[in-house]
Copies of this chain bind each other. A is one copy, B any other.
Amino acid sequence: MNIKKIAEMAGVSVSTVSKIMNNYSDVSEKTKQRVLEIIEQTGYSPSNSAKTLATKKSSLIGVIFAGEFNVEFTHPFFIEVLNSFKKQMGVLGYDLIFFSNEKFISSGDYFARCQHFHVDGCVIISGQKMEPAIRDLDMSSIPCIGVDLELKGKKSGYVMSDNYQISSKVVEHFYLLGYRELGFIGSTADSDISNRREAGYIKAIEDFGLAMNPTWFVHGEDFFEASGYAAMQTLIEKGSLPQAIFAASDLLALGAIRALKEHGLRIPEDIAIIGCDDIEACKYTSPTLTTIRQNKERLGVLAAHMLFDLINNQSEGGSFVVEPALIVRESCGSRLNAKPHQSSL
Contacts and interface: CB of A to CB of B under 8 A. Distances in A.
A45 B112 contact: yes
Contacts of A46: 116
A74 B50 CA distance: 33
A96 B95 contact: no
A52 interface: yes
B109 A100 contact: no
Nearest to A94: B100
A115 interface: yes
Contacts of A82: 73
Nearest to A101: B90
Contacts of A117: 48-49, 95
Contact of A115 (B45, B94, B113): B45
Interface in A64-85: 69-70, 73-74, 76, 79-80, 82-83
Interface stretch (A23-31, A199-207, A279-287): A279-287
A118 B49 contact: yes
A187 interface: no
A116 B45 contact: yes
A158 B268 CA distance: 48
- Which interface class (under 10, 10 to 19, 20 to 34, 35 or more) fits A? 35 or more
Interface of A: 43, 45-50, 52-53, 58, 60, 69-70, 73-74, 76, 79-80, 82-83, 86-87, 89-91, 93-103, 107, 109, 112-113, 115-118, 225, 254, 279-281, 283-286
A194 B60 CA distance: 36
Contacts of A80: 74
Nearest to A105: B90
B286 A118 contact: no
A97 B94 CA distance: 11
Which of A58, A69, A74 is most buried by chain B, counting CB atoms within 10 A of its CB? A74
A98 B96 CA distance: 5
Nearest to A109: B43
Given A53-B49, A87-B70, A285-B286, A97 B96 contact: yes
Which of A45, A49, A95, A102 is most buried by chain B, counting CB atoms within 10 A of its CB? A49
